Amino acid sequence: MGIGGRRMRARISGTGMCLPERRVTNKDLEVMMETSDEWIVQRSGIRERRWVSEGETPADLAEVASRTACERAGIDPEELDCIIVPTLSSQYEFPGTSFFLQERFGGTVPCFDLRAQCTGFIYSLSIANALVISGQYQRVLVCGAEVHSTGLDKSTEGRDVTVLFGDGAGAIVVEAAEDDSNPAGILDVTLHAQGKYAKKLWVPWGSALFPERLNADALDERLHFPRMDGRHVFKNAVTRMPEVMAESLDAAGVKKPDIDLFLFHQANLRINEFVANAAEIPAEKVRNNIQRYGNCSAASIPILLSEAHDEGLLEPGKLVCLTGFGSGFSWGSAVVRF
């Protein structure tokens, strides 16, 4: 229950996105490493991704995405009560990227980064929802922002991971839904994690276990680049995503055919086709953008939301299911009415 015994509800009132200008095609990657357009398209569906140009930061991308989300929500960024930045590619070791975003808006509103990798956006949605329905805040910004490209091994050794990832930011504003005649709201967010598989997709670099955290040996061993057991990640993703989607739909009291749009995390087009098949979701209800942007981790789902808005798919009343899986392992699903 919310303030005064009234049940509080939170809704998504604005979406925004920002992709770097620089396009990197599979052909461009062929010059850097032993790979091929054919392999990348066949295994992942990716045709190109965006990578930042020198000097472009996660906060730069986040600012543009966030300003658009605020504008569409009809508020000034100064009116936000809290800023959450899910990211796995923080601008600096500390403080988090959220502080460099908050700086752009001025003021003293609280901000924090959330580390749940590719499920970071769904985790953040859950926190934003809780902050709003508890009555603590009225307007919370969630902005997934990632610059992966500067942390990828662009030699043949790193090709399994490097070809998959892109840079970008996507943002939403979560607001208290005060109009009782408008049923828009976040109906459920269901989250899971399984730390036993933390090292199936991870970066060992900078560990608190290393003397001085960074050292030449670690660099020689290339510990600063992501490592992934791709097959293990794939198998878990295609099992966990339909599972958690069903849980969330159940918790929201919504039947699958009632959902207008399914937006999945963009790790691999084959994963998403698998999930849609397993859950018997018709292809026309699923939107993907991995072909153009690659995997933007915590930014992928909010970028999809922003594109769905642009395409007129988020009209009032539309029911949308968001589902993600990522490193940790972490996974989650949400049901949202617009």
ω into residue 329 within 30 of 0, thus cis?
Answer: yes
Q: Which of 268, 288, 295, 321 is catalytic?
A: 295
37: contact with ligand UT7 by CB under 6 A: no
* Minimum gap (Å) between residue 238 Cβ and ligand UT7: 9
Provide the residue count of the chain.
338
The verdict on 172 binding ligand UT7 (CB under 6 A) reads no
CA atoms of 120 and 107, how far apart (whole Å)? 25
Decide: 62 and 97 in contact? Cβ < 8 Å.
Answer: yes
Q: Which one of 19-27, 40-48, 91-99, 301-309 is the stretch in contact with ligand UT7 (CB under 6 A)?
A: 40-48
Dihedral angle sign, alpha carbons of residues 247, 250, 256, 258: negative
Torsion of the alpha carbons at 256, 274, 272 and 326, rounded to the nearest 10: 100
Contact residue for ligand UT7 among 132, 267, 269, 276 (CB under 6 A): 267
Q: Does residue 18 have an active-site annotation? A: no
Which C-beta is closer to ligand UT7: that of 97 or that of 268? 268
The rounded distance, in Å, linking the Cα atoms of 8 and 10 is 7
Of residues 133-162, those binding ligand UT7 (CB under 6 A): 159-160
Decide if residue 268 touches ligand UT7 (CB under 6 A).
yes
Task: Return the residue of 94, 231, 280, 284 that touches ligand UT7, per CB under 6 A.
Answer: 231
Parallel/antiparallel/unpaired status of strands 227-228 and 23-25: unpaired
Within 174-203, the residues that bind ligand UT7 by CB under 6 A are: 201
Specify the residue for token string 């009116």.
79
Query: Which listed residue (23, 28, 30, 35) binds ligand UT7 by CB under 6 A?
Result: 35
* Rounded least distance, CB 142 to ligand UT7, Å: 18
By the 8 A CB rule, do 216 and 50 touch? Answer: no
Task: Indicate whether 326 belongs to the interface with ligand UT7 (CB under 6 A).
Answer: yes
User: Which of 260, 255, 332, 337 is closest to 301 using CA atoms?
Assistant: 332
Structure tokens at 234: 């794939």
Does position 115 interact with ligand UT7 (CB under 6 A)? The reply is no
**Pair 262, 336: CB distance under 8 Å:** no
Q: Please identify, using beta-carbon distances, which residue of 77 and 144 lies nearer to ligand UT7.
A: 144
Out of 123, 137, 234, 338, name the contact with ligand UT7 by CB under 6 A.
234
Q: What are the b/e assignments for 30-47, b being 16+ CB within 10 Å?
A: eebeebebeebeebbbbb
CB of 267 vs ligand UT7, minimal distance in Å: 3
**The pair of three-digit structure tokens given for residue 244, joined into one six-digit string:** 């958690």
Q: Which CB atom, from 159 or from 287, has the smaller least distance to ligand UT7?
A: 159
- The residues with which 323 forms a beta bridge, in sequence order, are 264, 333
Number of neighbours of residue 57 by Cβ within 10 angstroms: 17
Stretch that binds ligand UT7, among 90-98, 100-108, 141-149, 232-240 (CB under 6 A): 232-240
Report the relative pairing of strands 139-146 and 82-86 from DSSP bridges.
parallel
Q: Which stretch binds ligand UT7 (CB under 6 A): 105-113, 121-129, 203-211, 225-233?
A: 225-233
Sole window of 89-97, 135-143, 227-235, 248-256 interacting with ligand UT7 (rule: CB under 6 A) = 227-235
Catalytic, 224? Answer: no
State which residue has the least CB distance to ligand UT7. 230
Task: State the residues that interact with ligand UT7 by CB under 6 A.
Answer: 35, 39-40, 43-44, 118, 159-160, 163, 201, 230-231, 233-234, 237, 267-268, 271, 295, 326
Point out the residues that are catalytic: 118, 265, 295
